[in-house]
Chain A
């Protein structure tokens, strides 16, 4: 298990050092500084073995967090724990910076004592931790007996992520479907690879211990329902909506996984406030919001003509925003002339690219840019590698086609029903790595 945990600043000075196991000595602190932080080379691996001691590290801005062990620990768990620790710290005091860590070092030691025991991670849900570890020192001494046992049962309980007795005057739910669409396309317009990685992010402000049920147009669920119910002659399911095939999804620990496995229904008692309910990945029938058509022509050895057409491929009533097309130019470019129909385009010598920006663009439209690139003659034999043209954008729909069908809330003990909850749903599709080779 984890033998010790160290936090360093960018210079390699120790800010926090907590040793859990006897086999980790003080020299381990220095070994990591000398061999990793002060190493001349770029870091080649997040796991380093120095003199039979293994160091796992992650970096947050210029702070190094390192977990140390001499045993055959579960490596995935160690990294998950380090990320979790960053989350916990961030939720207590914001950004993880040298200043914040120094300001809160007593708190951090307290947290480390609680969430890691003899190197075994314990409950690290901030919802639970905040009931008895606070920045104003520890509660505890003023608590009643009931409060104390409530804390302990929550920390060890099945629902460690939510405390009892939460009350809101207005019960509200915000649900964001955030997708990033990734594409690699050949110059001829053939899709080499495309996938959507999506997240369902929630903010819940609900009283009591509500039971939630979330439904989406998952193909497997809808097909099942379709089989049981009436199907029309086209064989489509009765719901009439299109369904999507989800390759894989993972859930927040509040979701009952065995229920998902058997019935494919997503039910859970939500944490309070912000959390990520699920992540998913799709690769089939993706709506590619934009198509990029490049045309590069070499005119002699000192000139390039580039023409790029972009076409928006979604409902005309919708608007895409923050569109940016990045056209790479050779290293020996001496001058560029650009003409574009819409938006603004600039040659940025420092980035070796022409950057074309369009604020808004409706669906089913087309726009074009043409550029003449003048080149300095070089004797460099290495050919220009022609990096791909990349694109950024934001669209108000989910490129995977995912639709939220329902989000029901049940709270049996308190007197509010599903209808009383105000629900907000939003879809945002962004570009991930969206590239077209030219």
Chain B
């Protein structure tokens, strides 16, 4: 007789029948009935109506039946809390059973029943089980503490279970130690600052001893826990490394990867000239290579991790290129990852081999893989200059195959090669032009158009080629349209006589018939440039282009450091920090390599200041005043570390207005750089990519100092935080209000506009200190008309505190005077555009209202 029959009953009235069977007198029949219930539960049928009947079967000597009933209880207790109480007695009794297997079973199951009333009864049995004579019960109880903590953290703390758990780290049984470590690590994750694990050289020593004796899984728990420890010096670091390296020969890949994580992290602390450092580097390569002979799923995990390791320490695997060669039967996900690593390891020494391989791959079947292989050839050309010529000829061979997607991919990479090595490989253009008709992907079309435009003077029929694209201008994607516009303007500047008509045509298409503001703007810019100053146009359009970088898709260094600390885990598979995919408080804590330098720290400070509801006189709706009011911020304590004031983030662009893209953000000044801190949230159903940002002209010439760093596509419901450094050298135009900023953000879906106001204070520069004499002279120089006064109310800071606080925002106190119980502060501010603003701040002890007089020498400036 087999159990599969339980899956087959699907009649109506089944529940009723089961009920009868459960209440049968015959033991065998009861057991059969419970099995049926469990089978129904598995396939997703609701059998919760049978709760009292199943619980009635719990009082039994039959362990198998008991286990089945427990399984049922775990599933349905939450939905029937009142009835679940009925089970408590049995649990408590079982926890006293002479058989350790039953004691453990009871404590294990009780922890899985998430009913508040039951957890109260759990405490006493759990306390006993934590001190049970049998290690099997203790190791189960250790995990149970973590379960209980998940249900009711406060209870666990109040009952002192955490201390008992800590004691178990010194248990004589290695498995108890391992489970205690696992439980403590998990609890510690939700209390980032509690120092629960309290790792010190003594406890580390205990862990390292247990490491040699416990099961493979226990070794993983211990190694993952060790990775959180920061050794006190290089000596300690080395001695831990020495005791962890034997794990590299373990058959379990997870043990190996966790050991690699510990070693990669602690290596940071070792001096590079140490012999041991070199030994360790050598020891890391063979186990990493061996991981590649594991099952494909594990290979995938290993490869994703190797990708990180290669970026962090390329020297480890630089001689191992061959092992990453793709095998014909590898699953596609392994192939793609191997290819990625091959490119990272490509160097002058091995480039010939790599190219030969890539050429083989380009003839395979899987389209994604072939594309990636073709792209890889291009990347090799850019990375290893000596190989560029060979790469180009390989690409040409591939173009000859006429396989559509191969040709398109090849053209895209050839464009990059042209940019890296200008004026070197133009001879191939003729071949490229032959394939013009077969290009149907925007990226390839855009690349081809770029090539034609860039080398227009050498292509006799460039005008014809570009004209052919122009026919379907409005059906092209934005990428192609923009490229076509630029290419034709380039062509015109190079051959003005023949192409006047063409350029007219494209300009009018772009400016008059297009709905796309990007395109229109660019069209207008070219049009005006060409009509007013053709020489300037030449300088702009045909300007020398910056070289493109050798390495693409590199992970940003701070993220890489964090990911190295997460080797072996999901974060290292996704190449994303845990906060990007883990909900709630868990994993939000950012891990960092030791000695990695102190990064960040300031974001939290800004948040501490909170909102500033300073009331301004209605007549002076001046944002500067607003800014100053904010700077004082009533809530901030005097003892707080001083930092520039950062207003809280506000929503600038609601998702409703931007096809699902929500943008909120704020401005900050960090280390002398103005930062625009954006939070992009994708509330749409589809993935967003290709983010870019632009500012309209504004009062202080703010402009992005770099591109918007959104490297990974933003999936649905994902949020990404970016900070964009700003410069103040952009074009200037007076805005109303003065600190208004109009922003355009583009992604693969559309272009969106919003405006926001920045606090003037972020424009205050660090060298705003002024000599007293100069201050006095300037103060006198200010015409009366340029002075204004207003009051800040409800400020409870004394003059020194205020002065300190303002200094944090680059408002410098030049002098202080006390007249008739009033403190007068004289302060100076220098704006990024070189304008000085002087202020006098009057405060009266006991009066929370301050009077500010502002003055500046330049006319007009203080109207804000």
Contacts and interface: CB of A to CB of B under 8 A. Distances in A.
B286 A248 contact: yes
Interface string B30-44: 000001001100111
Contacts of A137: 63-64
B101 A151 contact: yes
B64 A138 contact: yes
Interface string B468-484: 00000000000000000
B658 to A, nearest CB: 22
Interface in B135-181: 135-137, 139-140, 143-144, 146-147, 150, 173-176, 179
A52 B293 contact: no
B125 interface: no
B377 to A, nearest CB: 16
A156 B136 contact: yes
A138 B297 contact: no
Contact of B3 (A103, A138, A151): A103
Given A120-B217, A138-B63, A105 B146 contact: no
Given A106-B3, A149-B100, A141 B289 contact: no
A71 interface: yes
A52 B583 contact: yes
Given A103-B4, A105-B3, A383-B401, A138 B363 contact: no
B685 to A, nearest CB: 12
A80 B252 contact: yes
Interface stretch (B82-90, B570-578, B850-858): B570-578
Most buried by B among A117, A145, A157: A117
Report the interface size class on chain B: 35 or more
A363 to B, nearest CB: 28
Contact of B175 (A17, A123, A260): A123
Contacts of B823: none
Interface in B364-400: 400
B582 interface: yes
Contacts of B42: 14-17, 105
Contact of B99 (A148, A160, A261): A148
Interface in B319-368: 322, 325, 327-329, 332-333, 353, 363
B301 A279 contact: no
Interface stretch (B241-249, B699-707, B808-816): B241-249
A1 B566 CA distance: 14
Interface string A83-106: 100000000000000010011111
A42 B253 contact: no
B136 A152 contact: yes
A193 B322 contact: yes
Given A77-B568, A251-B249, A433-B328, A99 B296 contact: no
Contact of B101 (A105, A140, A252): A140
Contact of A279 (B44, B62, B293): B293
Interface in A265-304: 276, 278-279, 281
A267 B734 CA distance: 81
A248 B287 contact: yes
Contact of A381 (B216, B402, B583): B402
Contacts of B296: 46
Contacts of A248: 249, 286-287, 289-290
A99 B401 contact: no
Contact of B38 (A47, A109, A123, A383): A109
Given A77-B254, A77-B568, A252-B251, A140 B99 contact: yes
A80 B64 contact: no
Contacts of A247: 286, 289
Contacts of B217: 77, 81, 120-124
A143 to B, nearest CB: 8
Contacts of B56: none
B569 A74 contact: yes
Interface string B287-316: 101100101111011100000000000000
Nearest to B257: A76
Contacts of A56: 297
A13 interface: yes
B220 interface: yes
Contact of B568 (A26, A76, A257, A381): A76
A437 B301 CA distance: 31
A26 B569 CA distance: 25
B512 interface: no
A70 B297 contact: no
A80 B289 contact: no
B124 interface: no
Nearest to A249: B249
Contacts of B717: 51-52
Nearest to A247: B286
B4 A250 contact: no
Interface string B585-608: 011000000000000000000000
A418 interface: no
B213 interface: yes
| Range for the number of chain A residues in contact with chain B | 35 or more
B111 interface: yes
B114 interface: yes
Interface string A9-31: 00001111101111100100100
B268 interface: no
A156 B581 contact: no
A51 B581 CA distance: 9
B634 to A, nearest CB: 39
A46 B290 contact: no
B758 interface: no
Contact of A433 (B182, B258, B327, B332): B327
Q: For B61, B327, B403, which residue has the most chain A Cβ atoms within 10 angstroms?
A: B327
A158 interface: yes
A268 B253 CA distance: 20
B146 A261 contact: no
Given A49-B581, A281-B293, A148 B101 contact: yes
Contacts of B295: 58, 79, 83
A45 interface: yes
Contacts of B2: 102-104
Given A46-B297, A120-B221, A257-B250, A74 B67 contact: no
Given A248-B290, A381-B402, A75 B136 contact: no
B249 A261 contact: yes
A257 B252 CA distance: 12
Nearest to A104: B3
B842 interface: no
B520 interface: no
A5 to B, nearest CB: 12
Contacts of A105: 3-4, 6-7, 38-39, 42
B821 interface: no
Nearest to A18: B71
Contacts of B250: 250-251, 253, 257
24 contacts: A19-B75, A29-B44, A47-B574, A77-B568, A79-B298, A103-B2, A103-B4, A105-B42, A106-B3, A110-B64, A117-B179, A122-B179, A124-B217, A156-B136, A156-B176, A158-B174, A160-B175, A248-B289, A253-B216, A253-B251, A257-B246, A260-B249, A281-B289, A381-B401
Given A156-B136, A251-B249, A251-B250, 19 more contacts: A21-B150, A44-B332, A46-B300, A47-B301, A52-B581, A58-B295, A71-B582, A73-B570, A76-B301, A77-B254, A80-B216, A80-B298, A122-B179, A122-B217, A125-B215, A152-B134, A152-B135, A155-B175, A258-B243
Interface of B: 2-4, 6-7, 35, 38-39, 42-44, 61-64, 67-68, 71, 75, 98-102, 104, 108, 111-112, 114, 134-137, 139-140, 143-144, 146-147, 150, 173-176, 179, 182, 186, 212-217, 220-221, 224, 243, 245-247, 249-254, 256-258, 286-287, 289-290, 293, 295-298, 300-302, 322, 325, 327-329, 332-333, 353, 363, 400-403, 566, 568-574, 578, 581-583, 586-587, 717
Q: Which 9 A-B pairs have the closest CB atoms?
A: A248-B286, A152-B136, A102-B4, A76-B254, A261-B246, A77-B254, A103-B2, A72-B578, A121-B217
